[in-house]
Amino acid sequence: MYKSMMHSPELLKGTLQTILLKVLKDHGRMYGYEITLRVKELSGERILLTEGALYPTLHKLEAEGMLKTEVITIGKRVRKYYSLTSDGRSLVKARVNELIAFIKTMGNVLQVELN
Amino acid sequence: MNRLTNDHIECIIKDLNYRGIVADGIQEELIDHICSGVETEMNQGKKFIDAYHHILKSFGNTAGLQETQQEIIKSENTKSRNMLKNYFTIAMRNLRKHSFYTFINVAGLSVGLAICFIILLFVINETSYDKHFENGNRIYRTKSEIKFGGNHYNMLYAPPILASALVAEYPEVEAAIRFRERGSYLVKRNVDNIKEDNVIWTDKDFFKVFSIPVIAGNAETALAEPNTIAISEKIAEKYFPGENALGQTLILDNKMNMKITAIYKTLPQNTHFHFDILISMEGLDEAKRLVWYSNNFQTYLLLRSGADVKQLESKFTELVVKHAMPQMAELLGGDFTMEKFIAAGNKMEYTLQPLSDIHLKSSLQGEFEPNFDIAYVYLFVAIALFILIIACINFMNLSTARSANRAKEVGIRKVMGSFRSHLMRQFLTESILLTFISILLAVLFAYLLLPLFNQLSLRTLSIPFQQPMLYGIIILAALTVGLLAGIYPSFFLSAFKPVSVLKGHVALGMKSGLIRSALVVFQFTVSIFLVIGTLAVNRQLNYIQNKKLGFNKDQVIVIEDAYALGSNRLPFKDEIMRSGKMENATMTGFLPVSGSWRSDNPWWVEGRDPAVQENMVSIQNWRVDYDYIKTMGMKIKEGRDFSREFPSDSTAVLINEASIKRFNFTGDIIGSKIATFGDSGNGEPDRNKLITLTVIGIVEDFHFESLKENVSPLMMELNEKSEGPISFRFQSQNTQEVIQLTEAKWKELAPGQPFTYYFLDDRFGSMYAAETRLGNIFGIFSVLAVLIACLGLFALTAFTAEQRMKEIGIRKVLGASISSIVMLLSKELGKLVLIAFVLAAPLAWYGIDWWLKDYNYKTEIGVGLYLMAGLVAFLIALATMSFQSFKAASSDPVKSLRSE
């Protein structure tokens, strides 16, 4: 894992919600740390979600009614699981399609071939 | 896989707390995240402490952690619904926590708002009078100002000919109608009579001037014929339930058969008259007289649109010169001219009064119903505003006073990252919430209080629940009052500097006392003003009720409408007298209470020249019977009463003291003769027929009108054939027995006629009904104002005591007595009440002076009354304060000093 290989947080900013929604759709119930691990794994360690971006976004999606939460106590620790609400689930597809379209557009704009 | 031990977790929690991660719901989540991260790294072989620091570093250490926390809070709060919910929850929590202050705030505000609400309804009603007439802005009525023969009249009564003269002379006048009141009528369809009060004679253009919807019949021709009437829907339903009343007949006073030619919609409450039966003026001979010197008709005009009212009025002088003066000259004879008439200080002027001025700005002789006074509308509005302000002041006072207790909260919130705007919003939410609760309660209070208020004000107000406007107003009022009351505290509280607040420099509570003191002074000034006002009004009413009137108003029953007895009038009187329950009886409508018969004529001392205006005395000419003086309990000062033993008494007269000065007799008064012109038979004076009466006695002056008026000249002559009411003076204390006795006899001698009666003292009291009502309403308002002000004072003292808990403790330890501490706590606020008194007293003096100027006979409002009001306010304030002060002073100093 090399720093130079990681994507800059600036680029990630607009796609964070989509990433979270899609990951939660594919894996069901997850807690915050688990999500960072999963994203790290899926991106081949090129995307490291910072806590400072992850949690505010999760809370925002929750406040908007896209996510629901479940709290489980493990000993002295309290673990908060996130999962999609029905509203959230219907949002995922739209968001993913939007992002794919965006990537294609970027390809055209930058004049590069996307495989 | 390694798991963190509890010690590790404990350590992480403490460390995170130390770094300021404390927010609900965020703390746990971050702890779990960090723990998971540390576990993962420990599994890779790191030591706990290294792993922990590595993870912290990935958050960006303390700064990063806090930023994350703040970001999370922000992201949650971007939705305004959540934000409001948060404000709301915290507001509720705060209100519950300080339930004592909440109670005082809500109680004060809701009572204040309820009063405002009622007064608002009342003012809306008072200003809505006569607005429902389509041509309302073109309707005027004439006012007459006549000054002649020592009398000065400001009245609505005009000559019968004025209406037609105005239409004939001035094109601006589209239509003119007259009204003629003839008192109440007995109305029957077949057998039984019912007494109707709202009966009036009027001209056929009535419906042209007043756009009252006519349900049946033709409005244009309805009153064109004699012996026709138009009736209100109410009357139609009363006499012809379920039938068509149009074309039917009603019999008035047992003799007039009246055909119903129109049925109109019953007049709404906010009209200055409520006539139920309109009789066509065509059938009234009096209305056809072409005279200018007899004033009996209220005259209303409908002007053409665009008519210049001022210009029209200015032409009226010319009208008087052209038509009225020749008649006057003929009547008075001699060398009468307009110039001389005016030079002698006389006046005959007609002016116009717009319809919109009637209900609030008119109080003249000849009003159909008592009107209201605009000054009282202003007074009520002022009282409403004052009470509202007092209630809002309580709110502000308490909120800022409590600021010291909330200062820590503000400090913490600011440290936690609250912006000032958040705090202001929080405080405003609290105050709006409180106002909203108060307003709902206020509407409830108003609903409960309205019946009482209606009773006092003689109105039929109701809360218009079916109007959506009401709810809009409620919400708007909650927002406005909430903002008004909350804006100062919210600015004040949110401006605290967290550092100084958290360090303990929170003396702000009492330091900003100047504004608070001013507010308390204001509250008590208003309260004391109202208390003095109430006491003064009541004292004047008491004075009137107990003043020596010159006759005895008690123990007299008056049987009305005795004319319905027909020829049984005398037998009725005699048979009741024979029962032995009555002392005396008299038969006349000339009674010493206003609303009775009155008759005014010019008389002069026989032998003097009636053409010389100074010789003429305009005097009340009452026709009474032998027992009148005895029944009413007047005193003969000189000479003798009428007596059946003197047949010559048919030409005798009794005069009152007031008339002596005016007649300016030479020589002995008893035995002097006075004269006037006789009647020519058609109601007009006949210059060739002199009537002469001999003075046989002088009656002590007695008040026969409201005490607002002076006693005017009055004479009494004999007339035994009066159709007026019959009055009995009774001995029995049992009024029920008296009523039963007279009613039984009435039913026997006048079957089918309604029996109506009143007691003279009741009628006398009703002369001051308006004043009594004013006194009552004033009393209630002032009690409430004082109550609200005291609520505020109560809470303020409680707060001061709480603030000075430690000080009190130390003082007690050093040997202060309870009384000295009560004194200490009450002194400051007591001083404020004293200042309020000094401010209120001159204001009240001015107000009372203004109110009493209408009375010719007024009570002395001495310094005592002011001092009493001041003392009452002071004692109430003291009692309010000392309860709390005493509680604080008698508490155990150990408790207050132990902590810290």
Using only the alpha carbons of chain A, give its radius of gyration: 15
> Residues B478, B438: one domain?
yes
Lowest mean pLDDT among B155-159, B179-183, B418-422, B842-846: B418-422
Supply the pLDDT for residue B143. Answer: 93
Choice between B608 and B264, residue whose per-residue pLDDT is larger: B264
Q: In chain A, what residues touch B8 (CB-CB under 8 Å)?
A: none
> Would residue B351 count as lying in a domain?
yes
B177: confidence class by pLDDT, cuts 50, 70, 90: very high
Choice between B613 and B836, residue whose per-residue pLDDT is larger: B836
Lowest mean pLDDT among B237-251, B344-358, B498-512, B829-843: B498-512
B29 → closest Cβ in A57, A63, A80: A80
Hey, what's the torsion of the CAs at A71, A72, A75, A77, to 10 degrees? -30
Interchain contact A105–B (C-beta under 8 A): no
Asked if B581 contacts B747 with a C-beta cutoff of 8 angstroms, the reply is no
> Residues B230, B304: one domain?
yes
Percent of chain B residues past pLDDT 90, beyond the cut:
24
Residue B424, min C-alpha distance to chain A (Å): 24
> Residues B309, B350: one domain?
yes
Question: From residue B611, how far is each of A67, B335, B336, B603, B746 by CA, in Å?
Answer: 107, 8, 8, 12, 49
Nearest CA-CA partner of B388 in B128, B154, B208, B119: B119
Name the residue type at position B448: L
> Residues B832, B868: one domain?
yes
Answer yes or no: do A76 and B78 touch at CB < 8 A. Answer: no
Q: In chain A, what residues touch B58 (CB-CB under 8 Å)?
A: 50-51
Answer yes or no: do A52 and B75 touch at CB < 8 A. Answer: no
Handedness of CA B857, B859, B862, B866 (dihedral sign): negative
Residue A95, min C-alpha distance to chain B (Å): 20
Q: In chain A, what residues touch B75 (CB-CB under 8 Å)?
A: 56-57, 59-60, 63
CA distance B559 to B743: 9
Half-sphere exposure of residue B871: CA atoms within 13 angstroms, side-chain side: 7
B295: confidence class by pLDDT, cuts 50, 70, 90: confident
Answer yes or no: do A78 and B10 touch at CB < 8 A. Answer: no
State the helix-helix crossing angle for B61-77 and B48-59, rounded to 10 degrees. Answer: 50
Between chain A and chain B, how many beta carbons pairs sit less than 8 Å apart? 71
B509: confidence class by pLDDT, cuts 50, 70, 90: very low
Answer yes or no: do B6 and A51 touch at CB < 8 A. Answer: no
Number of domains in chain B: 5
A33 → closest Cβ in B33, B79, B82: B33
Helices of type H across chain A: 9-12, 16-27, 32-42, 51-63, 86-110
Task: Quote the domain boundaries for residue B648.
Answer: 582-730
- With residue B327 as reference, give the H or E element that holds it: helix B325-332
Averaged confidence pLDDT in chain B: 85
Nearest CA-CA partner of B208 in B199, B218, B200, B198: B218
What are residue B620's DSSP bridge partners?
B600, B714
> Residues B675, B698: one domain?
yes
Which residue is it, tokens 């020592």? B150
Supply the pLDDT for residue B683. Answer: 60
**B722: helix, strand or coil:** coil
What are residue B143's DSSP bridge partners?
B351
The third-level CATH classification (topology) of the domain covering A3-104 is: Arc Repressor Mutant, subunit A (1.10.10)
Instruction: Note the pLDDT tens digit of each residue in B236-251.
Output: 999 999 889 999 999 9
Nearest CA-CA partner of B176 in B319, B383, B327, B344: B319
> What is the 3-state secondary structure of B11-76?
HHHHHHHHCCCCCCCCHHHHHHHHHHHHHHHHHCCCCHHHHHHHHHHHHCHHHHHHHHHHHHHHHH
Q: In chain B, what residues touch A60 (CB-CB under 8 Å)?
A: 75-76, 78
Interchain contact B340–A (C-beta under 8 A): no
Answer yes or no: do B68 and A56 touch at CB < 8 A. Answer: yes
What one-character-per-residue DSSP string does B539-592 give?
Answer: HHHHHHHHS--SS--TTEEEE--GGGGGGGHHHHHHHHHHTT-EEEEEE-S--S
Supply the pLDDT for residue A4. Answer: 44
Closest residue in chain A to residue B8, using alpha carbons only: A76
Interchain contact A102–B (C-beta under 8 A): no
> Would residue B524 count as lying in a domain?
yes
Test mutation, B10, B12, B29, chain A, max A CBs within 10 A: B29
Mean pLDDT of B778-795: 81
Name the residue type at position B279: I
Token pair in block for residue B376? 């009282």
The residue from B338, B361, B384 where one domain ends is B361
> Would residue B64 count as lying in a domain?
yes
| b/e code B858-896 from CB counts within 10 Å (16+ = b) | bbebeeebbeebbebbbebbbebbbebbbebbebebeeb
What one-character-per-residue DSSP string does B486-517 give?
Answer: HHHHHHHHHT--HHHHHHT--THHHHTHHHHH
Mean pLDDT of B548-563: 88
CA distance B229 to B200: 10
CA distance B359 to B284: 28
CA distance A103 to B484: 55
Instruction: Note the pLDDT tens digit of each residue in B63-88.
Output: 888 888 887 877 766 556 667 777 78
CA distance B97 to B533: 40
Q: Are strands B157-158 and B194-196 parallel, antiparallel or unpaired?
A: unpaired
Residue A13, min C-alpha distance to chain B (Å): 14
B510: confidence class by pLDDT, cuts 50, 70, 90: very low
> Residues B388, B488: one domain?
yes
> Residues B215, B231: one domain?
yes
B235: confidence class by pLDDT, cuts 50, 70, 90: very high
A57: confidence class by pLDDT, cuts 50, 70, 90: confident
Nearest CA-CA partner of B373 in B116, B123, B709: B123
Supply the pLDDT for residue A47. Answer: 83
Question: From residue A82, how far is each of A12, A62, A94, B241, B653 by CA, in Å?
Answer: 21, 9, 20, 76, 109
What residues 10-69 of chain A have any CB closer than 8 A to a CB of chain B?
31-34, 37, 50-52, 55-57, 59-60, 62-64
Answer yes or no: do A76 and B32 touch at CB < 8 A. Answer: no
Name the pTM for this structure. Answer: 0.70
Asked if B154 contacts B382 with a C-beta cutoff of 8 angstroms, the reply is no
**B398: helix, strand or coil:** helix
Q: In chain A, what residues touch B10 (CB-CB under 8 Å)?
A: 76
> Residues B70, B85: one domain?
no
Answer yes or no: do A33 and B37 touch at CB < 8 A. Answer: yes
- With residue B730 as reference, give the H or E element that holds it: strand B726-730
| b/e code B536-550 from CB counts within 10 Å (16+ = b) | bbbbbbeebeeeebb
> Residues B156, B232: one domain?
yes
Supply the pLDDT for residue B86. Answer: 78
Counting Cβ atoms within 10 Å, is residue B110 exposed (0-12), middle (13-18) or buried (19+)?
Answer: buried
> Would residue B859 count as lying in a domain?
yes
Supply the pLDDT for residue B13. Answer: 84
Tell me the backbone φ, ψ of residue B174, rounded to 5 degrees. -80, -45
Mean pLDDT of B178-194: 88
Residue A93, min C-alpha distance to chain B (Å): 23
CA distance B202 to B280: 6
Q: In chain B, what residues touch A64 (CB-CB under 8 Å)?
A: 79
> Would residue B748 count as lying in a domain?
no
- How many C-beta neighbours within 10 Å does residue B605 have? 16
CA distance B757 to B561: 9
> Residues B228, B120: one domain?
no
> Would residue B253 count as lying in a domain?
yes
**B136: helix, strand or coil:** helix
Q: What is the ipTM of this complex?
A: 0.85
Supply the pLDDT for residue B444. Answer: 93
Neighbouring residues of B254: CB distance < 8 A, sequence distance ≥ 6: B186, B188, B193, B564
Mean pLDDT of B569-588: 89
Helices of type H across B750-768: 760-766
Supply the pLDDT for residue B80. Answer: 61
B167: confidence class by pLDDT, cuts 50, 70, 90: very high
> Would residue B659 count as lying in a domain?
yes
Q: In chain B, what residues touch A52 (CB-CB under 8 Å)?
A: 59-60, 64, 67-68, 71
Choice between A100 and B771, residue whose per-residue pLDDT is larger: A100
Residue B54, min C-alpha distance to chain A (Å): 13
Asked if B235 contacts B275 with a C-beta cutoff of 8 angstroms, the reply is no
Answer yes or no: do A33 and B71 touch at CB < 8 A. Answer: no
Answer yes or no: do A79 and B78 touch at CB < 8 A. Answer: no
Closest residue in chain A to residue B35, using alpha carbons only: A77
Residue A76, min C-alpha distance to chain B (Å): 7
Asked if A55 contacts A20 with a C-beta cutoff of 8 angstroms, the reply is no
Supply the pLDDT for residue B894. Answer: 82
> Residues B66, B104: one domain?
no
The residue from B310, B326, B361 where one domain ends is B361
Give the best-scoring range by mean pLDDT among A3-7, B111-115, B292-296, B512-516. B111-115
> Residues B159, B210: one domain?
yes
